């Protein structure tokens, strides 16, 4: 694995991506590469460079110095590429089976070269197409449990944890989440984006003092609680999947944050898909299984590998578990509202072609998000999320 700091930044072209792939020595000399820019996310260039005969290839990802979703008027740090490659390498220490291999990174070009996952599909696209991904919740539950436990004060020497934390100070990307997830959708802000038919529902959120208080508490947790190294943007567009494999990608938002955040974002995006279709069960089952796998895996690690002298204290694990679920439910509510009326929507809802059906699904999303935030303290078991989901439909 190489890590270079030599070059001067310029955006990659397709021919530049091919030249880089050839230079890395991962392929036989003279490989007749094909290159396609395939980035459909909000922030980066992504090139798929491959040999059309063997189908073997690599992904070359480059951060742009601005947010692609908005344009050059929104400058954005290139350091996120280093955060991303460091996070992938750190996650690979604990769950190599669930992240792409990093072959090379160049800090000044903001480039990461990684394993080609083109045999898999982005989970959001698959869910929209009706796929169910039977192993997804097993894999994501394990991914979250192991990465959170081993990078926390329970799974790692507490001095080493603080040193690791220094590599993941990520103020600009955290600010995007602080603004776009926890603030702007709850006020009349220019980044918001919604159909006029939703105005009454949206204005009700802007004038809801009880909701504001609860979102402010959740935002404070996001700002201050450094439990573990979190992915920071674990929506279904950050996961490649098939019926047998799962790979988590794009951890450029990684930082030391609260235990419940990744779980909440994942739950939210499953719920957004469930709201967009008539067959809810596979999504609700994934939420429950993710939580059950997470809690069992985390508890087993706690039992066997905990470094904290208070680990065996009666009630501590239960308290961590309970608070993590409550926080995850609240974070999920914020993410659902943000993906419905804020910046960076999701295709699950926006792709509903029939306008009245789309508006109705979005109204339900706003109601569900609000309920999750306001009632999170009453959630003691994951099955209660299912009840809130169906109560939203019945209301
Ligand atoms: C300006 S970035 C908008 C969103 O894209 C990323 O995937 C994150 O979810 C971020 O909030
Ligand atoms: Mg992303």
**Which stretches of 170-221 are assigned E, i.e. beta strand?**
none
Neighbour tally for 75: CB within 10 Å? 11
Of the CA atoms within 13 Å of residue 271, those in its CB half-sphere come to 36
Between the CA of 116 and the centroid of ligand 1 the distance, in Å, is 23
Q: Which of 236, 184, 233, 226 is nearest to 206 (CA)?
A: 184
Provide the pLDDT for residue 295. Answer: 98
Rounded Cα distance, 271 and 276, in Å: 9
Q: Which residue among 123, 344, 346 is best mutated to probe the pocket of ligand 1, counting the most ligand atoms within 8 A of its Cβ?
A: 344
Contacts of 351 (CB under 8 A, 6+ apart): 128, 276
CB atoms within 10 A of CB 70: 14
Q: Determine the distance separating the centroid of ligand 1 and the alpha carbon of 34, expressed in angstroms.
A: 29
CB of 180 sitting under 6 A from ligand 1? yes
∠ CA 63-66-68 to the nearest 5 degrees? 80
Query: Using 50, 70 and 90 to split pLDDT, how confident is the model at 5?
Result: low
Query: Looking at beta carbons, which pairs linking 51-58 to residues 24 or more positions away fall under 8 Å?
Result: 51/27, 56/27, 56/116, 57/21, 57/116, 57/118, 58/21, 58/24, 58/26, 58/103, 58/113, 58/114, 58/115, 58/116
Q: Is residue 334 within 6 Å of ligand 1 at its C-beta?
A: no
Rg (CA), the chain: 21
Could you tell which of 61, 123, 180 is best to mutate to test the pocket of ligand 1, judged by most ligand atoms within 8 Å of the CB?
A: 180
* Residue 366: both structure tokens together: 């706003």
Q: Residue 116, annotated ligand binder?
A: yes
Q: Which atom of ligand 1 is found nearest the CA of 70?
A: 1
Chain centroid, CA 24 distance in Å: 29
The annotation status of 205 as a binding-site residue, yes or no, is no
Mean pLDDT of the chain: 96
Q: For residue 70, what pLDDT is reported?
A: 86
- DSSP letters, 326-351, are HHHHHHHHHHHHHHHHSSS--HHHHT
192 among the known binding-site residues? no
- Coil, strand or helix: which one is 46? strand
- Percent of residues, the chain, with pLDDT higher than 90: 94
Q: How far is the CA of 391 from the centre of ligand 2 (A)?
A: 32
- At residue 146, the pLDDT reads 99
For the cut 50, the answer to whether the pLDDT of residue 1 exceeds it is no
Q: Which residue has the tokens 């020595």?
A: 25
Asked if the model's pLDDT at residue 192 lies above 60, the reply is yes
Cα–Cα distance, 121 to 50 (Å, whole number): 17
Sign of CA dihedral 329, 334, 337, 343: negative
Is ligand 1 within 6 A of the CB of residue 118? no
Q: 233 a known binding residue?
A: yes
Contact 384, 375 (CB under 8 A): no
pLDDT surpassing 80 at residue 2: no
With a 6 Å cutoff on the Cβ, whether 344 touches ligand 1 is: yes
Q: What is the pLDDT of residues 253-264, one digit of tens each?
A: 999 999 999 999
Q: What is the pLDDT of residue 105?
A: 97
In this prediction, residues 89-96 reach a mean pLDDT of 98
Residue-wise pLDDT tens digits, 122-149 = 999 999 999 999 999 999 999 999 999 9
Distance (Å, whole) CA 230 – CA 239? 15
Residue closest via CA to ligand 1's atom 5 equals: 42
Sign of CA dihedral 199, 202, 207, 208: positive
Q: Per the structure block, which two tokens stand in for 61?
A: 């990802």
- To the question of whether residue 252 is assigned a binding role by annotation, the answer is yes
Q: Which are the contacts of 174, defined by CB distance < 8 A and separation ≥ 6?
A: 222, 223, 232, 253, 255, 257
What is the Å distance from ligand 2's center to 255 Cα?
14
Measured CA to CA in angstroms, residue 229 lies from 172, 190, 255, 277 at distances of 16, 31, 5, 33
CA pair distance 154, 301, nearest whole angstrom: 9
42 in ligand 1 pocket by Cβ < 6 Å? yes
Of 46, 26, 24, residue with least CA distance to 36: 46
Distance spanning both ends of the chain, measured CA to CA:
55
**CB of residue 176 inside a 6 A radius of ligand 1:** yes
Which pLDDT value is given to residue 10?
Answer: 94
Q: What is the pLDDT of residues 39-88, one digit of tens each?
A: 887 889 999 999 999 999 999 999 999 988 888 898 999 999 999 999 99
pLDDT band at 393 (very low <50, low <70, confident <90, very high): confident
Q: What is the mean pLDDT of residues 13-23?
A: 96
The residue whose C-alpha atom lies closest to atom 4 belonging to ligand 1 is 344
Question: Once rounded to an integer, what is the mean pLDDT over residues 208-226?
Answer: 99
pLDDT of the residue at 8:
87
Confidence of residue 379 (pLDDT cuts 50, 70, 90): very high
Is there an atom of ligand 1 within 6 Å of 67 CB?
A: yes
Q: Where does the pLDDT of residue 4 fall: very low under 50, low under 70, confident under 90, or very high at 90 and above?
A: low
Q: What is the DSSP letter of 43?
A: S
Mutate to test the pocket of ligand 1, among 40, 43, 190, 341 (most ligand atoms within 8 A of CB): 43
Instruction: Report whether pLDDT(3) > 60.
Output: no
């Amino acid at each position: 694995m190489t890590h270079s700091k030599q070059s001067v930044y310029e955006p990659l072209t397709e021919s530049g991506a091919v030249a880089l792939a050839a230079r890395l020595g991962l392929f036989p000399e003279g490989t007749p590469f094909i290159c396609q820019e395939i980035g459909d996310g909000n922030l980066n260039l992504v090139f798929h460079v491959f040999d059309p005969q063997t189908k073997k290839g690599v992904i070359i990802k480059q951060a742009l110095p601005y947010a692609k979703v908005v344009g050059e008027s929104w400058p954005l740090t290139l350091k996120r590429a280093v955060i991303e490659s460091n996070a992938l390498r750190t996650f690979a220490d604990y769950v190599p089976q669930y992240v792409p291999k990093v072959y090379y990174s160049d800090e000044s070009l903001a480039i990461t070269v990684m394993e080609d996952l083109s045999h898999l599909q982005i989970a959001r696209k698959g869910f929209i197409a009706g796929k169910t991904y039977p192993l997804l919740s097993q894999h994501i539950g394990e991914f979250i449990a192991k990465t959170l436990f081993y990078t926390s004060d329970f799974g790692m020497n507490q001095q080493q944890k603080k040193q690791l934390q220094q590599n993941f100070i990520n103020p600009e990307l955290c600010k995007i989440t602080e603004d776009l997830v926890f603030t702007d959708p709850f006020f009349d802000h220019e980044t918001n984006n919604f159909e006029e038919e939703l105005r009454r529902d949206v204005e009700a959120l802007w004038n809801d003092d009880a909701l504001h208080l609860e979102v402010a508490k959740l935002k404070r947790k996001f700002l201050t609680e450094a439990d573990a190294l979190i992915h920071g943007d674990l929506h279904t567009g950050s996961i490649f999947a098939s019926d047998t494999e799962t790979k988590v990608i794009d951890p450029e938002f990684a930082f030391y944050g609260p235990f419940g955040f990744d779980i909440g974002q994942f739950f939210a995006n499953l719920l957004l898909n469930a709201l967009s279709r008539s067959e809810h069960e596979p999504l609700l089952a994934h939420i429950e299984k993710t939580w059950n796998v997470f809690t069992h895996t985390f508890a087993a690690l706690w039992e066997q590998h905990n470094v904290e002298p208070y680990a065996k204290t009666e009630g501590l694990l239960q308290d961590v578990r309970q608070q993590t679920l409550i926080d995850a439910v609240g974070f999920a509510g914020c993410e659902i509202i943000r993906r419905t009326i804020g910046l960076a929507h999701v295709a699950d809802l926006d792709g509903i072609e029939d306008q009245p059906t789309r508006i109705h699904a979005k109204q339900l999303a706003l109601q569900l998000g609000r309920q999750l935030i306001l009632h999170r303290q009453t959630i003691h078991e994951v099955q209660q999320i299912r009840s809130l989901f169906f109560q939203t439909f019945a209301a």
